[in-house]
Amino acid sequence: MPAAMNLDEQVEYLAKGSVDLIDRKDLRAKLARGKPLTVKVGFDPTAPDLHLGHTVVIRKMKHFQQLGHRVIFVIGDFTGMIGDPTGKKTTRPALTHEEIEENAHTYERQVFKILDPKKTEVRFNNEWLGALGSSGMIKLAAKYTLARMLEREDFRKRFDSHQPISIHELLYPLAQAYDSVALKADAELGGTDQLFNLLVGRDLMREYGLEPQVVLTTPLLEGLDGVEKMSKSLGNYIGITEDPQSIFGKIMSISDELMWKYYLLCTDLTPAEIETWKNRPMEAKKHLARFIITEFHGADAALAADEEFRRVFSERQAPSEVDEKTLPASKEPQFLTKIIVAAGLAPTNKEAQRLVAQGGVLIDEARVDDPKQTIDSRKGKTYLLKVGKRRFARVNFV
């Protein structure tokens, strides 16, 4: 909880780590009134789990919450059925109401790992968007022009390249903007990819005679590859409900350069506090992993994950829990690569051959580098296989 702050310190605290703040003087003016602001963030429940990238804007919600403001977590059960086209080159398939409802309840449980449930309002935007009906939606659509909508980069690119844009996609920014009207939002937060939609909210609030909301965007967090934004579909994500050992290992795998961005966006440490770790990158990465695991799983889980990582990667020992694989025995030796695939440690024989050739495979702690290596697979034989840095299996032939 931040100590008592004057007005300028509050603005700086809320602006920390942001990309766009439209605009700073409006935020200062709203704060100067001394009344709690209504701050909204919308999430369409398009997937059941949140990852670390989602938590960047949720943490910013927490900062507003800590200063006594009213924070509303808007679950887009209506907008989710449209599907946000942001950054999409093609029309995104809409979800069913049942899928949205199931994902939404999962979201509620996960956000309270960061936000204070007693100080957080959870609202579903079908409450006001569904109530508009067809005539209300037509009146809403009359508030904005096609020319303005085509100023949005992804719409413009698709239009210029003759890619289809469905009419319902054009309604998405308006529907999101109407959330701000219905809630009389003082501020709306979102990732940088949401900037256009958030600015439509400012425009639409003026149309309804309301004071425009302040828009604050947070950076998009790169995933484990350090290139693309964190995404489940790209497989470069850290899920907040993943087991602590997986989270620890994934954080230890990111580059030192990316680690400092994670510190800035995924912790509440000040830049000065982060600076104290700069000359100890390995310890800093372990500290980051412990911090994140503690937030989502507790301090004991963080310590256990740290100890497990030390055993497996520093002392080269097998994990305390190893998957057991039972495979059919054979009187004849079998190719190691075939066993690796059968044990689920590589997707294809070609990939298994590549891993072996690169020296990434150990049998009972002995490294193997011959892709044509065979092993005794008679009944009763057991081997501990390690493939790459994190994949282990105990193979039993029966």
pLDDT tens, residue by residue, 138-150:
999 999 888 888 8
Among 38-52, 92-106, 213-227, 325-339, name the one with the lowest average pLDDT: 92-106
How far is the C-alpha of 179 from the C-alpha of 84, rounded, in Å?
A: 14
Instruction: Output the CA–CA distances (angstroms, integers) from residue 23 to 17, 20, 31, 217, in the order listed.
Output: 15, 8, 13, 11
Tell me which residue has tokens 């979800």: 95
Give the pLDDT of residue 145. 85
Whole-angstrom distance, CA of residue 159 vs CA of residue 349: 43
SS3 329: coil
pLDDT at position 123 over 70: yes
* Pair type for strands 324-327 and 391-397: parallel
Strand partners, 2: none
pLDDT number for residue 26:
96
Res 321: pLDDT: 61
Q: Which of 104-113, 168-177, 269-278 has the lowest mean pLDDT?
A: 104-113
pLDDT digits (tens, 9 = 90+) for 89-100: 555 566 677 777
Work out the pLDDT band at 319, boundaries 50, 70, 90.
Answer: low
SS3 state of residue 75: strand
Q: Which helix (H) or strand (E) holds 367?
A: strand 366-368
Q: What is the mean pLDDT of residues 22-46?
A: 92
**Among the ranges given (87-91, 136-140, 171-175), the one the predictor scored with the smallest mean pLDDT:** 87-91
pLDDT tens for each residue of 242-273: 889 889 988 988 888 999 999 989 998 888 89
- Quickly state the pLDDT bin for 25 (edges 50, 70, 90): very high
Q: What is the pLDDT of residue 270?
A: 83
Q: What is the pLDDT of residue 3?
A: 58
pLDDT at 83: 66
Q: Are 215 and 22 in contact (CB under 8 A)?
A: yes
Integer Cα distance of 84 and 169 in angstroms? 7
Does residue 104 carry a pLDDT above 80? Answer: no
Q: What is the pTM of this model?
A: 0.72
Which candidate, 375, 338, 371, 340, places its Cα nearest to that of 354?
371
With cut-offs at 50, 70 and 90, classify the pLDDT of residue 367: confident
If one counts every other C-beta atom within 10 angstroms of the C-beta of residue 262, the result is 21
pLDDT value of position 2: 65
Q: CB of 74 within 8 A of CB of 42?
A: yes
Phi, psi (rounded to 5 degrees) for 280 = -135, 65
What is the fold of 244-314? Answer: Tyrosyl-Transfer RNA Synthetase (1.10.240)
322 pLDDT exceeds 70?
A: no
Q: Return all residues near 112 (Cβ < 8 A) that are at least 6 apart.
A: 120
Burial class (CB in 10 A: 0-12, 13-18, 19+), 290: buried
- Average pLDDT of the residues in 198-205: 95
Q: What percent of the chain has pLDDT over 90?
A: 44
Identify whether the C-beta of residue 220 lies closer than 8 Å to the C-beta of residue 191: yes
Query: Long-range contact list for 148-156, CB < 8 A, 24+ apart?
Result: 148/203, 149/173, 151/196, 152/196, 153/196, 154/85, 154/86, 154/87, 154/88, 154/89, 155/85
Residues 35-84: pLDDT tens digits?
999 999 998 777 667 899 999 999 999 999 999 999 999 988 888 777 66
Instruction: Please give the pLDDT value at position 86.
Output: 56
The band of 288, judged by pLDDT with boundaries at 50, 70 and 90, is very high
The whole-angstrom separation of Cα 96 and Cα 45 is 11
Which tens digit of pLDDT belongs to each residue from 228-248?
889 877 778 898 888 898 899
Say yes or no to pLDDT of 320 above 60. no
Output the pLDDT for position 84: 63
Give the least confident one: 87-91, 124-128, 330-334. 87-91
Could you tell me what percent of the chain has a pLDDT over 70?
A: 92
φ, ψ for residue 317, nearest 5 deg: -95, 160
pLDDT at 315: 52
- Confidence band, pLDDT 50/70/90 cuts, at residue 317: low
Half-sphere exposure at residue 65, Cβ-oriented, CA atoms within 13 angstroms? 21
Token readout for 275 is 């600076």
pLDDT in the model for residue 14:
94
**C-alpha to C-alpha distances, 216 to 169, 187, 370, nearest whole angstrom:** 23, 7, 55
DSSP string, 227-294: SSBP-TTTT---BTTS-HHHHHHHHHHS-HHHHHHHHHHHS---HHHHHTTTT-HHHHHHHHHHHHHH
Closest CA to 43 of 51, 34, 35: 51
Please state the domain extents for the chain: 7-218, 244-314, 324-397
* Superfamily of segment(s) 324-397: RNA-binding S4 domain (3.10.290.10)
Would you state the pLDDT for residue 135?
Answer: 93
What per-residue confidence (pLDDT) applies to 276? 92
Residue 87 has pLDDT above 70, yes or no: no
- CATH no. of 7-218: 3.40.50.620
Task: Give me the helices (H) in the chain, please.
Answer: 7-15, 24-32, 52-66, 97-111, 126-141, 146-149, 153-160, 167-183, 195-207, 244-253, 256-266, 271-275, 281-297, 299-309, 336-342, 349-357
